[in-house]
Structure 1
């Protein structure tokens, strides 16, 4: 990356922070319907500024505690945590990424994406999102992360949880009994919120 490109990214981050601060001053809170708050993680990764990226994600978590984020944003957050040697937190963020879109991790590590009949707008999730998801296990700056991610995704704890999660959502597609649906939905919520591995 050239010094000019670096300065451009630093300016983009500063502009976003300035715009968000102006919203808070004007409205007493954030009205970020444009989704600016999701962009800095990408820029921090491009800059290789993992410390700055982690500081930003701490601010994000404090400022938007109920924001579930988008799959690419959660993925970037996981990379920042990994690069900052916060491996347990990175595992939790990888799980959140998987729950947000079950195709993203396979797309990143180069596994074939198999369409699954499930809840998540299958065509959009499989085709639309994965086409604009630009990260790859072959990126030089992500080789260490991709090796760690492959090992984590192959772990018994991840594969067991993943299998149960997918079974629940596939059952929800066909289950008509409201009591059973409620039970399955509660179990899915518990799995989504279980962040310890």
Structure 2
């Protein structure tokens, strides 16, 4: 497995469940890490690699729902799938409202779990890509001059070069020069791409 291969974390205090899920995910080639508690999971979590956690609700120490809250607080990219023999409607509703991909009752259908894992990993990878893109963009935009920042704000607002020139009391040619410079610094190939990047909500 490569270092960037996605990881399935299995967090359950029942060794039979850990073994069962580990066997299932390894049968289709996933890398997995088994943990007996929420804290053990937090100690080994790599949030820079696409991942999902197959998580029991009842755990020693932090519960599964409390762990989900902690992941949200950290802005973690990991996808959350609950599997529980003690599930009930209030817990499931809370879990889903806080971003869990699914809440499966034990015994669960193997294919359903694998499908949800695939969805969770895709979402996790997209969050990591957006986070990396945002970090890169912020670093590049930090190099903009004050005037370039003013032009960028007006471009994002949808104003034309002529309107920007009037607002800033500069020539259209000067606006175009600033637009070219800020796009070069941002690494954008078009104004539409620049606006999409700059307007994109933070991942999380």
After TM superposition, the score normalised by the length of structure 2 is: 0.28
Higher helix share: 1
Q: Which has the larger radius of gyration?
A: 2
Higher strand share: 2
